[in-house]
């Protein structure tokens, strides 16, 4: 338009006598039109590449699998694997773990003997996977035949056929479904799967992506005496979640959330990070997962670059400027001993949902980032009520804030998970509507009883220390 006005205002002598100018201006108009057409096409493509979270479902095991800490210790004594010294350490760890008395153990731990089989492990996983998928499909009304992408993640349990194949077989997914089976990737695998699904949805138009996150503890109870391998026994519990994503433009009307950012960092190149969580045999040949004293240091070293990258994406300019001034001051005036400035992430997000990990990890994360007890409520209550369910824990946390009626339209939700490797993943969602509790929410029947008051307990000096 501006070029056209420019041409019409040119002197007539120039238009008739300077053919080169006319050709040049014509080419400029054509280039401008091509650029406008390109921008229009790219915007149209971008608009249909949004990633929406339609809904999710968390598995809630039957009441018969609820176990108090007292019952857990009773079963540990009955099985006869542990010395009195080891049992005393396990009891202290449980008391200071942040778990309540309503978490769920796998069925194999309810009997008088612990002698798990492949069938037992498969039953535990299938109950969580099928239970969560059944709820999700019922909530969304999406047919299994319409699912084009399937990603299943489970860290320790690996079966043949794979868990993704088991899901395809059970729900008769189409023959051209794209499947991924993620194993050995720890508690961060659920958000890694979100990032992978986002990339796949960029190239597969009008698709649904089903993500299933779970863990199996049936065959992974450590029965030796090495204290560094007791984390699984004390913290990990039964659970699972199913999440439905979509890139269909029409789904923005029904979706709960829209994906804004997915940031992943991996420090496995560092020996400290790589070795802080390791599955291996102890001195007597019994397999367990070692968690050593480097865990907190490795977690901080991995979370820090993740937060830095995320901060550039979500923090307001004032926070970025404050951080920059502080950084310059510390770098150029070291004698002033200026303390590092930790940006206030609460100004950029409305709900902070870190992976439950364990109480020491949550305490350190809260101290480092300066979050309030209210900010940490969903994580601590999830740890208390359901224990550490590995990669699915963050979805029980999101279900908690939904059940509390705290998610309002436009709110930003930050999920962050970390796990072996060491890896850290952050995902930012924007609520597409105000979200409340529903009948399938695992917290619905008891949400009014939370939050509970947690007792202050002493730290465990040897919690992450290998036994001598």
Domain parsing of the chain, residue ranges: 2-47, 52-449
Separation of CA 336 from chain center: 39
Q: Give the pLDDT confidence score for residue 333 in this predicted structure.
A: 83
Distance CA 149, CA 429 (A): 20
Nearest to 159 by CA among 171, 147, 149, 167: 167
- Pick from 362, 443, 8, 401: which is nearest to 187 by CA? 362
Token pair in block for residue 116: 């798990």
- The per-residue pLDDT for 466 is 44
Look up the CATH number of domain 52-449. 3.40.47.10
pLDDT in tens, the chain (468 residues): 433 333 344 455 444 445 667 776 777 788 778 877 766 665 555 445 899 999 999 999 999 999 999 999 999 999 899 999 999 999 999 998 899 999 999 999 999 899 999 999 999 999 999 999 999 999 999 999 999 999 999 999 989 999 999 999 999 999 999 999 999 999 999 999 999 999 999 999 999 999 999 999 999 999 999 989 988 899 999 999 999 999 999 999 999 999 999 999 999 999 999 999 999 999 999 999 999 888 888 988 999 999 999 999 999 999 999 988 988 888 888 888 888 888 999 999 999 999 998 888 888 888 888 889 999 999 999 999 999 999 999 999 999 999 999 999 999 999 999 999 999 999 999 999 999 889 999 999 999 999 999 877 665 544 444 444
Cβ pair 322, 341 in contact under 8 A: yes
User: Which pLDDT belongs to residue 20?
Assistant: 66
User: What span, in angstroms and rounded, lies between the C-alpha atoms of 409 and 45?
Assistant: 25
* CA separation for the pair 124, 108 (Å, rounded): 9
Torsion of CA 365, 370, 372, 375, to 10 degrees: -60
């Amino acid at each position: 338009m501006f070029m056209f006005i420019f041409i019409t205002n040119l002197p007539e002598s120039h238009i008739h006598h300077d053919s080169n100018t006319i050709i040049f201006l014509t080419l400029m108009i054509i280039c401008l039109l091509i650029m406008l057409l390109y921008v229009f096409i790219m915007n149209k493509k971008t608009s249909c590449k949004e990633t929406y979270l339609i809904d999710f479902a968390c598995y809630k095991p039957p009441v018969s699998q609820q176990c108090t800490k007292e019952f857990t210790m009773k079963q540990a004594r009955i099985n006869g694997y542990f010395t009195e010294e080891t049992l005393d350490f396990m009891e202290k760890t449980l008391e200071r773990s942040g778990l309540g008395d309503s978490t769920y153990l796998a069925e194999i731990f309810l009997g008088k003997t612990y002698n798990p089989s492949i069938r037992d492990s498969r039953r535990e996983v299938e109950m969580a996977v099928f239970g969560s998928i059944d709820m999700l499909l019922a909530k969304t009304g999406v047919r299994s035949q319409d699912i084009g992408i399937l990603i299943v993640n489970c860290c320790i349990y690996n079966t043949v056929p794979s868990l993704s194949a088991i899901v395809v077989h059970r729900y008769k997914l189409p023959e051209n479904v794209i499947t991924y089976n993620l194993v050995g990737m720890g508690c961060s695998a659920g958000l890694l799967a979100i990032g992978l699904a986002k990339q796949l949805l960029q190239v597969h138009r009008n698709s649904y992506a089903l993500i299933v996150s779970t863990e199996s503890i049936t065959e992974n109870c450590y029965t030796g005496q090495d204290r560094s391998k007791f984390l699984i026994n004390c913290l990990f519990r039964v659970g699972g979640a199913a999440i439905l994503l979509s890139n269909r433009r029409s789904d923005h009307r029904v979706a709960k959330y829209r994906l804004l950012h997915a940031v992943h960092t991996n420090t496995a190149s560092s020996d400290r990070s790589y070795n802080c969580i390791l599955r291996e045999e102890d001195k007597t040949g019994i397999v367990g997962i070692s968690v050593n004293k480097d865990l907190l240091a490795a977690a901080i070293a991995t979370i820090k670059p993740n937060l830095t990258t995320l901060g550039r994406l979500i923090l307001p300019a004032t926070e970025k400027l404050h951080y920059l001034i502080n950084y310059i001051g510390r770098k150029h005036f070291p004698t002033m001993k200026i303390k590092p400035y930790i940006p206030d992430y609460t100004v950029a997000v409305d709900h902070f949902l870190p992976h439950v990990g364990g109480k020491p990890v949550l305490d350190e994360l809260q101290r480092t980032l300066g979050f309030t007890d209210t900010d940490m409520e969903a994580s601590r209550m999830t740890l208390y009520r359901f224990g550490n369910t590995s990669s699915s824990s963050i979805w029980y946390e999101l279900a908690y804030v939904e059940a509390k009626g705290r998610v309002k339209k436009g709110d930003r939700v930050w999920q962050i998970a970390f796990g072996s490797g060491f890896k850290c993943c952050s995902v930012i969602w924007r609520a597409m509507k105000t979200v409340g509790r529903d009948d399938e929410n695992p917290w619905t029947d008891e949400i009014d009883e939370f939050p509970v008051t947690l007792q202050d307990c002493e730290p465990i000096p040897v919690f992450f220390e290998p036994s001598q």
